[in-house]
Chains A and B, each alone.
Chain A
Amino acid sequence: MTTTTPTRPGPQVDDRDDARVDTSTRGAWRVVMNREIVVRALNRTFLVGLLVSVAIIAALAGFLAWQGSKTDSFTVAVTAGDTAATAAVEAAGAVPEDQGGGAEIDTVEVADDAAARTALTDGDADAWLHPADGSDGGWVLTGESDPDSTLTRQLTTAVAGQTLETNAEAAGTSVAELTAGGTLSTDRLDGDAVDSQTLFFASFALALLFFIGALGSGQMIAGSVVEEKQSRLVEIMATAVPLRHLLAGKILGSSVVALAQNVVFAAVGLVALSFTPTASILPALSTSLVWFVLFFAVGFLGLAALYAVAGALASRAEDLQHTTTPMTMAIMGVYFLTFSASGTFETVLSYVPVANVVSMPVRVLSGDAAWWEPILSLLILAAFAVVALLVGERAYRGALLQTGGRLSWKSALATRA
């Protein structure tokens, strides 16, 4: 092989002779990958960001756990001798949690109405339950200001039940007879256990994980590419190893870091979640997270290649903001679309590369996806990643050794040896 070549228009890189590459360059990508991982992992900004994120996740879960375990307790004043009020308060305390109850309710007897008002203003009682004035009966719950909504709800249920019972007895029948056949329970064909609120929270969390991981690590790759280009280190390295080794090492290194970061976040989130009342969704969520990590790993390979090109198109660090804009927009778009999507739109998104990194795991969590759907979607994503890697490698090599100003994708792809 010789270096004599026919005329070709445009700048190009002398990147031939691959057939004669010294066997020792074969492991070069590993040397590059190791450096990317070490430099990134020891980067103070990255470490601080990681620790802060983990702390936020743990704190959030801790707050949820505390909220869940906390039992409200109230003291309700009743006038001495008002057995009906006492019974109603006792019944309210017994309303089970799934019917809107759960708070502890104590009774404190007061001598008369005046004493009750004093107890309220002094803070000895949270509310005062007493019969309404007038002949049509009913009850009044008086607080110093608005009585607590949980307390009101529980007492409303209890009072209604008690009244129903009294009235039924007076009419010669029973509550059971009156309400027979009048219950309504819900059921769903997919037999799903995850409610829509949890689902929204989970999709928001996955979209955020994707956003942080893809944007953070993507910018990191672009930055490290332009750093080498600007300092001409890449010219020294290009004489030592084929450029695709450099790219491969970079992509793999930052993918490992991005993935590790997401695994840490997911693990901390899952462990934290197991201490909260939502622990019941853990098995379903774990499956979904495994899919997410898998999708992210595949999708990020493609994104990383495109980010490397964005770095190579720049000539100095200041150009990065411009060259990475399309990538940033795409990732922000995925973030906003996926956590708010639902229905058919979500189904479509769950097949669209990069958006499916978030949408498909969410559909797996909601039980909406058939077993083959994530597999098909992952294959589509893998195809995207392969195309992005091939095109990216070409543009990276075309742009990396060209100096002087910002380059366009077109000129990067057109100029290659």
Chain B
Amino acid sequence: MDNDSLEVRGLTRTFGDLTAVDDVSFTAPPGLLTGFVGGNGAGKTTTMRMIMGVLAPTRGEVRCGGAPVTRADRRSFGYMPEERGLYPKQPVLDQLVYLARLRGISAPKARAEVLDMLDRLGLAGRSKEHVEKLSLGNQQRVQIVAALMGAPRLLVLDEPFSGLDPAAVDGMVDLLAEHTDRGVPVLFSSHQLDLVERLCERLVILKAGRVMADGAPRDLQQAGALRHRLVVEGDAGWVRGVPGVHAVDVDGPVALLELADDASLQRLLAVGLERGVVRELTPLRPTLAQIYREVTA
């Protein structure tokens, strides 16, 4: 196990009779974007708050770098809470420098870093403006700067892309990529499955406080019953006689098939070639949305 991973082990949190997070375990590896997906009330925010120490776990532990996370560790974590805001009546630069200083970064260093990041997010000219005068998208950019200051060891971002237009999403993705390139684990939650599918090298799906799936999107896609589409010349009805092949649907030359294993695939291909021309044999990867619906069904 890599020492810089974020490891969540058996994390559980109850509120009275309600178990909001139930024995959640997963790993966010270094240098990768890990997507945290689940419906409303699935326990994403509660889990993230426990990782950041904002909420005490009922059971379980959070480890980073191979050891339980302490308060001192958390000072070097970047965090973006949900339903967030900033000081509306304070200038952008002032409040970012203030937040940086609370994390132990000296004022001049914080200033330089903040100005650089604002510049790259297209907010250079607005550092002296009050936050309330910025558009929501720009306020979000300021918030991401607050999380990224001081080269954090871990990033925990709760819905970082909500409310952003596609260009702003790309800008933020570029910024996050710099941190994954440094080997930082990034855990972010999102409702936008297409975005998660595009960005994530790793995925944790949560439902009703429990982990329903955990792994690389490709692995998750292959874990389910993988279907294939076969197109031949003439009628494809013969596929029903091939061992290990289950025909879900046959419509003239096109068949939708479920194959038991790789040997069945080879057998199918051999029989097909023997009988004539095989135009197409394609594995059908389910989209993330399909996987999500399947595992949370």
Task: Give chain A residues whose Cβ lies under 8 Å from the Cβ of B240.
Answer: none
Is the pair B71, A242 in contact by a Cβ cutoff of 8 Å? yes
Stretch with Cβ within 8 A of A (4 or more), from B97-105, B116-124, B250-258: B97-105
User: Which residue on A lies nearest to B143, using beta carbons?
Assistant: A236
Is the pair A235, B57 in contact by a Cβ cutoff of 8 Å? no
Shortest Cβ gap from B124 to chain A (Å): 23
Distance, CA A401 to CA B54, complexed state (A):
7
> Given known contacts A1-B70, A28-B102, A31-B98, is B84 in contact with A231 (CB within 8 Å)?
yes
User: Which residue on A lies nearest to B53, using beta carbons?
Assistant: A14
Shortest Cβ gap from B71 to chain A (Å): 4
User: Which residue on A lies nearest to B156, using beta carbons?
Assistant: A239
Task: Give chain A residues whose Cβ lies under 8 Å from the Cβ of B60.
Answer: 3-4
Task: Give chain B residues whose Cβ lies under 8 Å from the Cβ of A228.
Answer: 87
Distance, CA A142 to CA B110, complexed state (A):
84
Contact partner of A239 among B54, B56, B68, B98, CB < 8 A?
B54
Shortest Cβ gap from A11 to chain B (Å): 6
Is the pair A235, B98 in contact by a Cβ cutoff of 8 Å? no
- Whether, in the assembled complex, B22 has its beta carbon less than 8 Å from a beta carbon of chain A, the answer is no
Distance, CA A12 to CA B57, complexed state (A):
9
Q: How many A-B residue pairs have CB under 8 A?
A: 120
- Whether, in the assembled complex, B292 has its beta carbon less than 8 Å from a beta carbon of chain A, the answer is no
Task: Give chain A residues whose Cβ lies under 8 Å from the Cβ of B50.
Answer: 14
Is the pair A18, B68 in contact by a Cβ cutoff of 8 Å? no
- Whether, in the assembled complex, A13 has its beta carbon less than 8 Å from a beta carbon of chain B, the answer is yes
Contact partner of A231 among B15, B57, B75, B86, CB < 8 A?
B86
Distance, CA A20 to CA B147, complexed state (A):
23
Total interface residues in chain B, CB < 8 Å: 42
- Whether, in the assembled complex, B196 has its beta carbon less than 8 Å from a beta carbon of chain A, the answer is no
Distance, CA A211 to CA B31, complexed state (A):
57
Task: Give chain A residues whose Cβ lies under 8 Å from the Cβ of B85.
Answer: 230-233
Is the pair B56, A13 in contact by a Cβ cutoff of 8 Å? yes
Task: Give chain B residues whose Cβ lies under 8 Å from the Cβ of A401.
Answer: 54-55
Is the pair A235, B102 in contact by a Cβ cutoff of 8 Å? no
A interface SS class: loop
Contact partner of B53 among A25, A28, A231, A239, CB < 8 A?
A239
- Whether, in the assembled complex, B14 has its beta carbon less than 8 Å from a beta carbon of chain A, the answer is yes
Task: Give chain A residues whose Cβ lies under 8 Å from the Cβ of B49.
Answer: 235
Is the pair B99, A236 in contact by a Cβ cutoff of 8 Å? yes
Contact partner of A3 among B57, B79, B90, CB < 8 A?
B57
Distance, CA A8 to CA B49, complexed state (A):
17
Is the pair A21, B71 in contact by a Cβ cutoff of 8 Å? yes
- Whether, in the assembled complex, B62 has its beta carbon less than 8 Å from a beta carbon of chain A, the answer is yes
Task: Give chain A residues whose Cβ lies under 8 Å from the Cβ of B58.
Answer: 5, 7-8
User: Which residue on A lies nearest to B52, using beta carbons?
Assistant: A239
User: Which residue on B lies nearest to A402, using beta carbons?
Assistant: B55
B71-111, CB < 8 A from A:
71-72, 74-75, 77, 79, 81-88, 90, 98-99, 101-104
Closest 7 CB pairs of A and B: A231-B85, A14-B56, A232-B81, A17-B71, A24-B104, A2-B68, A14-B53
List, sorted by A's number, 11 A–B pairs whose CB atoms are closer than 8 Å: A2-B68, A8-B58, A11-B55, A16-B56, A17-B72, A31-B101, A227-B87, A232-B83, A235-B81, A236-B147, A238-B53
- What is the interface of chain A, defined by CB distance below 8 A to chain B? 1-5, 7-18, 20-22, 24-25, 28, 31-32, 35, 39, 227-228, 230-233, 235-242, 401, 417
- What is the interface of chain B, defined by CB distance below 8 A to chain A? 14-16, 49-50, 52-62, 68-72, 74-75, 77, 79, 81-88, 90, 98-99, 101-104, 146-147
